[in-house]
Amino acid sequence: MDSIGRFELGLSSVEDLLQNSPGGYDLIYIDPPFGLQRELHMTEADGSKKSFQDSWANYDDYIEWLAETINGLYNLLKKDGWLYSHNNFEGNALVLGKVDKRVRRSFYTNISWLRSHPKNNIRIGWGNIVDSIMALRKGKPFFDVEYSPLDPTYAANSFGHEDERGRYALAPATGEKSRPGHQFEYNGWSPTFGWRYSEEKTRELDEQGLIHFGKNKPYKKIYLHESKGPPVQNIWTDIYNLTRTERNKRNYPTQKPLKMMERIVRTSCPPGGRVLDPFCGSGTTAIATFKVGEGRTCDTYDVSEEALQIARGALEEAGEDQSGRDPGPVPGEEHDLANVTRAG
């Protein structure tokens, strides 16, 4: 069985990448090996077998390598940017304790992605059906909130009021803490912590009929037909993993759902911003960047020529114009990253 080889990313390669990427990145997403100590297989169209070697001398060596990698990649972020590390919970928890203190302090949250449905063959403990996506937040990066569709039951229970405009919910129009410019009397009300809105905005909402003065406090009306739905939080159960048939279309064993990568790119990289995925794999991050559009660009690299071929083919299928720069392999040591494309 031919070996595609183990992914490697040394600090010298990161430094070389930095020289080729002046200005840094708004978003870095990595889906590195998980330290599984086994081979991941795929079958070529001609029936030949290929394998990805995710094997290490021991798990501690893997964690040290991954921590060093994240430290280096963190330097590639702009002064305001996101770095997402996709792994299992053990890997992300252990590596967080090994990265530099400045990197560790940028930890923002862990996103739990439900990658598979419950399994019936679990006999010795809890089923492991989620991945961890560790989010590191540097500075004050761009973030565009994504909203989930309103659940009909939630809508029926939460939007329990109705007038000539339609069904609506009530949200407090008062503030949660005192803020300058929000302490004023309006329509006989002087809330302890002030108003949620400025005096001008409060008056405007009232004139539009959007302020309801209740018995105990004033509220703002939120109409069902205008509601965006609840914001997506850090538990993702609405994006299903690829089926075996779907993975076979691109023939890559660790391919991630396009919808998940589109969410990460859309929410965490501003229009016109730059994305980096140094573990290209099947090219899903580059395809997501292309589809989300609005001037975003993606640099993506891999040491596997087979992976690069798969990614290029997938990009072509996605309608990507690859007329942009393709600087070729990044110079450095034995395990340099090889550039596949720049999507935008």
| DSSP three-state, residue 46 | coil
Sequence-distant (6+) residues with CB within 8 A of 200 are none
- Are 228 and 155 within 8 A, CB to CB? no
The CATH number of 2-146+231-343, from 3.55.10.10, 3.40.50.2300, 3.40.50.2000, 3.40.50.150, is: 3.40.50.150
- Determine the average pLDDT of the residues in 4-25: 52
Q: Which comes out higher in pLDDT, residue 239 or 281?
A: 239
**Average pLDDT for residues 120-148, to the nearest whole number?**
86
Q: Delimit the domains of the chain by residue range.
A: 2-146+231-343, 152-226
Residues 173 and 197: their CA atoms lie apart, in Å, by 7
Average pLDDT (233-262) is 77
Q: Structure tokens of 31? A: 């889906």
Please tell me the predicted confidence (pLDDT) of residue 16: 60
Unique residue bearing structure tokens 């580059």 = 286
Greatest mean pLDDT among 10-19, 85-94, 295-304 = 85-94
77-107 per-position pLDDT tens digit: 999 999 999 998 899 999 999 999 999 999 9
Radius of gyration of the chain (CA): 24
Q: How many Cα atoms sit within 13 Å of 318 on the Cβ side?
A: 25
Assign 39 to helix, strand or coil: strand
pLDDT of residue 5: 26
Q: Is residue 137's pLDDT more than 70?
A: yes
Distance, CA of 311 to CA of 57 (rounded, Å):
29
pTM for the model stands at: 0.74
